[in-house]
Amino acid sequence: MLPSDAVEILDYLALGKRIGETQLIYQEKYGELPDIEDLLDILEGKGFVKPLLPNQANRSYAVIQATFAPPTTKVAKVRYNFANFPQSLAQKLFSRPVLLGCAVLISLALLAIAFDPALIPSWEAYFFPENTTLMILVLTVLDCVILFLHEMAHLVAARALGVSCRMGISNRMWMLVAETDMTGIWGVPRNQRYLPFLAGTLLDMVSAAILILVFLAQKHAGLKDLLTAILPQVQAQAADLIIKHNYELTRVLPALRRTISVRYPSLTDIAAQKEQIRNYPADRAFRIIHGIIDLLTAWFKRSQNSRWVIVCDRYDFSGGLVMI
């Protein structure tokens, strides 16, 4: 469906006006210079218009008008999705203040990542060793919702310009894709087409930025975060502490098990699989807690680069192992 101003351009051309004359008329009326040649190229590719032959240049107005007349065959009515979406609401959703707010959110998220790269999930976040089937179903539903919102952003941005769209499923070679048909967007000035084309990506970036900022707000300095922060310095300046406390470190930071081998496992770890749940559990718990305390104490004495403030939340509810 072409916007009314694009149809108006075709009417001027059907009256015999040249492209330059039509551009001036449009610019005086709407304050913008339309890209008529691009519009005609698109319509010609769709079969809606065709260029005149050289020997037809001097035809009468009636013949020219007949060239642009609609076909006599009955054409099926095109059904657009969300055609009743208010254009005024679409314009508010993609207004300058909203776009500026999106830019601020994305900028804040990029700054947060620059200061704390750990906010970006590692590859381990994409694997689910437990409840695999349930997680796949949940992610599939979530992907469908995200995909719908992505395409809906394209549709709403085009609707803000008065262009109706259709959403559907298609393919790119062997890949199944969702797409939004915005053919009518070629009837608006070129500088207004970018936002509808980029609206889906913009929504994805804003959604990711919000999630990153939420993670940042919820993040607090727990034991894992503290050890992760100081581990590179400890490895570079006090490698002996890594060797001495490798058991505790691999228990608190499981990712280290790929690079650090445990030299002295606990009695629970070397027991048979069936016996591990009841054999020497206190030995492992005591060793992990107080081994980490010994590691932090030794590293603090060696570094002394800054003052540490360790806050224990709900310490009065802790067990006897912490109190020892």
pLDDT of 65 > 70? The answer is no
Contact 147/162 with Cβ under 8 angstroms? no
Q: Which helix (H) or strand (E) holds 176?
A: strand 175-181
| Residue 150 confidence (pLDDT) | 95
Nearest Cα neighbor of 239 from 270, 225, 260, 264 is: 260
Kindly state the average pLDDT of the residues 160-180. Answer: 87
CB 26 within 8 Å of CB 34: yes
Checking if the pLDDT of 271 tops 80, the result is no
DSSP 52-92: PPGGGTT--HHHHHHHTSPPSS--PPPPPTTTTS-HHHHHH
User: What is the rounded distance in angstroms from the CA atom of residue 250 to the CA atom of residue 124?
Assistant: 16
Whether residue 110 has pLDDT greater than 50: yes
SS3 of 90-159: the string is: HHHHCCHHHHHHHHHHHHHHHHHHHHCHHHCCCHHHHCCCCCHHHHHHHHHHHHHHHHHHHHHHHHHHHH
d(CA 6, CA 161): 12
Contacts of 124 (CB under 8 A, 6+ apart): 255
pLDDT tens digit sequence for 217-263 = 766 556 777 788 888 888 888 888 888 888 888 888 877 878 888 77
Q: What is the pLDDT of residues 20-40, one digit of tens each?
A: 778 888 777 777 777 788 888
Residue 71 predicted with pLDDT over 80: no
Q: How far apart are CA 29 and CA 23, in angstroms?
A: 10
Q: Which two tokens stand for residue 48?
A: 């809606």
**Residue with tokens 């995909």, as numbered in its chain:** 147
- 75-89, 109-123, 211-225, 237-251: which has the minimum mean pLDDT? 211-225
Q: What is the mean pLDDT of the chain?
A: 79
The pTM of the full predicted model, rounded to 2 decimals, is 0.54
pLDDT confidence bin for 188, thresholds 50/70/90: confident
* Alpha carbons 291 and 18: distance in angstroms, whole number: 85
34 or 73, which is more confident:
34
Confidence of residue 97 (pLDDT cuts 50, 70, 90): very high
The residue count for the chain: 324
Q: What is the mean pLDDT of residues 143-156?
A: 94
* Lowest-confidence segment of 73-82, 127-136, 168-177, 206-215 by average pLDDT: 73-82
More confident residue, 18 or 282: 18
The proportion of the chain whose per-residue pLDDT surpasses 70, expressed as a percent, equals 76
Assign residue 226 a region: left if phi > 0, alpha if psi is -120 to 50, beta otherwise? alpha
Model confidence band, residue 60 (pLDDT cutoffs 50, 70, 90): very low
Phi-psi region of 162 (alpha: psi -120 to 50; beta: other; left: phi over 0): left
